[in-house]
Chain A
Amino acid sequence: LAKTTQPISMDSYEGQEVNITCSHNNIATNDYITWYQQFPSQGPRFIIQGYKTKVTNEVASLFIPADRKSSTLSLPRVSLSDTAVYYCLVVLLTGGGNKLTFGTGTQLKVEL
């Protein structure tokens, strides 16, 4: 079971780059790494997903080393509106199909 570990909280200032690292030592061959963002009293929202190396979209970049035992979500030039909880997931393919298991997430606080 690929459990994920992330920092509980991080602080940053507007305009800075933020990197949130997630450990998933027991990731399996067919697992993908996915990141979600959640604002208070809302459902999580998909940010980015990857399998290996680097993935980039209009919101973030995801860096995955060759051994895939960790991943880093990179948010360029954060703003106040990026204050949220960020979850790292390893999508497990169990005998019954996907089982999306969320950890405790990382609370990112962005200040002026």
Chain B
Amino acid sequence: DGGITQSPKYLFRKEGQNVTLSCEQNLNHDAMYWYRQDPGQGLRLIYYSQIVNDFQKGDIAEGYSVSREKKESFPLTVTSAQKNPTAFYLCASSMLSGNTEAFFGQGTRLTVV
């Protein structure tokens, strides 16, 4: 069935290591987004993309990188340059129109030790 899938659900990494979070959608959506959520806080936009091979920085892009080689996939790499990587990461997708509905994955909880 259609949807947006994030994997893994839980991820542990050592400090200083890069880690890549997966996000796949089969909804044929043009736009995809990555958000970060810290405990008790709202969602902050990291990166977003409207078409293949193009993406834009969000509000907190430093220490993160993305790629959009396929319409269905929008992986996020948390680099060692990210000072506080431990957080809940959410991926979303939507159509490109004004009255759009965004569909979210179930999230990846990243813990860096």
The total of chain A residues at the interface (CB under 8 A) is: 27
Report yes or no: A44 in contact with B48, Cβ–Cβ below 8 A: no
With A49-B99, A51-B99 as contacts: A98 and B94 at CB distance below 8 Å: yes
- Chain A residues with CB under 8 Å of B105's CB are 43
> Do A41 and B88 contact each other (CB < 8 Å), given the known contacts A99-B45, A102-B43?
yes
- How many interface residues does B have (CB within 8 Å)? 32
Which one, A42, A93, A100, A105, contacts B94 given CB within 8 A? A100
Chain B residue nearest to A93 (CB atoms) is B98
CA distance A112 to B54 in the complex (A): 49
Which B residues have a C-beta under 8 Å from some C-beta of A? Answer: 30-31, 33, 35, 41-45, 48, 50, 54, 56, 58-59, 88, 90, 92, 94, 96-107, 109
